[in-house]
């Protein structure tokens, strides 16, 4: 999106990105609670003043609000992978912030006035985003990681066995490394993630994605869908039912003989699957992956989680 705009806009995007990076060490809970933001950099203030007319016009475009929303959503998800964001409300908040900044560019503001305008705009946006984060249940840091392809295969209990195609990797991550590795082996594979690279994956939300019927030979999800399902199950909120519906949608999307493979396990739902239709096999996690964090999660949950589940559709 930004590649087609002016150098002044690209520079503005880079300066705003620096502002986000400056918040990397601040706990999300403090930002949500209203911790004061750092003063805007002199470079940002001077860039805005030097290119007032061009930047004011761009700040008022829908493309600007959407670009700000996308980047802010990515930053929030990097801080808490579980937060659910109202994208329309977040885009609206970004549009209001951009409009307020554009208004400040219309006069002959000196550096002090421009800096104060940026602070006020940032505080107003912070308050709106904080409300959305609280509503989305993600006011503390829960970092999402990506994993090496070999580690994913080991954790999912796949070994070197070929996977029935086509393969869908749910929660493939921003790199979609597993999908790329399968494609390099000649396997028809695609990924699904809200941060998915569009060359090998689909950008989307697994709660609303149309998985289809009798469509996939294998669906895999390592430390993604099932981890979120556990989180929602323990929270005992309405989202848990949404995850249960999607879980069954993924099973129905398998071809007969196809498998849904995921880790961690979901014992609270696997035991309810009709045995005439599905067969669930548990593959324990390799001993090297049995960290204290895994044991702590099991103690908190009150049930076994440290295994990969292979759910085969029989008919």
Asked whether the beta carbons of 244 and 272 are under 8 A apart, the reply is no
- Taking the C-alpha atoms of residue 99 and residue 64, their distance in angstroms, rounded to an integer, is 10
288, burial (CB in 10 Å: exposed 0-12, middle 13-18, buried 19+) = exposed
Distance between start and end Cα atoms, the chain: 45
Residues of the chain with pLDDT under 70: 1-4, 81-82, 137-149, 288-295
pTM for the full predicted model: 0.62
Asked whether the beta carbons of 270 and 314 are under 8 A apart, the reply is no
Residue ranges per domain, the chain?
2-135, 149-313
Segment 38-70, tens digit of pLDDT: 889 999 999 999 998 889 998 999 989 988 888
Is there a cis peptide before residue 264, judged by omega within 30 degrees of 0?
yes
Segment 14-32, tens digit of pLDDT: 888 888 888 877 777 788 8
- Say how many CA atoms lie within 13 Å of 73 toward its Cβ: 20
SS3 percent helix, strand, coil of the chain, rounded to 5, is 50, 15, 35
Fold classification of 149-313 (topology level) = Rossmann fold (3.40.50)
Segment 198-223, tens digit of pLDDT: 999 999 999 999 999 999 999 999 98
Partners of 220 in beta bridges = 169, 261
- Taking the C-alpha atoms of residue 117 and residue 120, their distance in angstroms, rounded to an integer, is 5
Count of C-beta atoms within a 10 Å radius of residue 97: 22
- Taking the C-alpha atoms of residue 221 and residue 192, their distance in angstroms, rounded to an integer, is 10
């Amino acid at each position: 999106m930004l590649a087609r705009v002016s150098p002044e806009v690209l520079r503005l995007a880079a300066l705003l990105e620096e502002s986000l990076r400056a918040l990397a060490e601040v706990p999300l809970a403090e930002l949500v609670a209203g911790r004061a933001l750092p003063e805007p950099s002199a470079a940002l203030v001077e860039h805005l003043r030097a290119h007032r007319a061009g930047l004011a016009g761009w700040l008022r475009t829908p493309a600007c609000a959407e670009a700000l929303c996308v980047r802010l959503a990515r930053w929030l998800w990097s801080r808490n992978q579980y937060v659910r964001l109202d994208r329309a409300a977040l885009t609206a908040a970004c549009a209001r912030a951009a409009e307020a900044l554009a208004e400040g560019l219309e006069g002959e503001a000196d550096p002090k006035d421009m800096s104060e305008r940026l602070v006020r705009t940032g505080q107003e946006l912070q308050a709106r985003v904080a409300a959305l984060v609280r509503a989305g249940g993600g006011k503390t840091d829960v970092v999402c990681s990506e994993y090496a392809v070999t580690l994913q295969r080991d954790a999912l209990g796949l070994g070197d066995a070929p996977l029935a195609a086509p393969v869908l990797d749910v929660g493939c991550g921003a790199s979609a490394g597993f999908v790329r590795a399968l494609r390099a082996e000649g396997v028809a594979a695609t990924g699904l993630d809200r941060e998915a690279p569009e060359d090998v994956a689909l950008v989307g939300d697994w709660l609303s994605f149309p998985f289809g019927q009798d469509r996939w030979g294998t669906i895999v999800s390592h430390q993604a869908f099932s981890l979120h399902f556990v989180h929602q199950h323990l929270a005992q909120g309405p989202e848990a039912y949404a995850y249960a519906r999607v879980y069954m949608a993924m099973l129905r999307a398998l071809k007969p003989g196809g498998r849904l493979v995921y880790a961690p396990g979901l014992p609270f739902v696997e035991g309810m699957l009709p045995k005439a239709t599905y067969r669930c096999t548990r593959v324990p996690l390799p001993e090297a992956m049995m960290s204290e964090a895994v044991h702590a999660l099991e103690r908190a949950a009150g049930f076994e989680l440290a295994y990969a589940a292979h759910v085969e559709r029989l008919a």
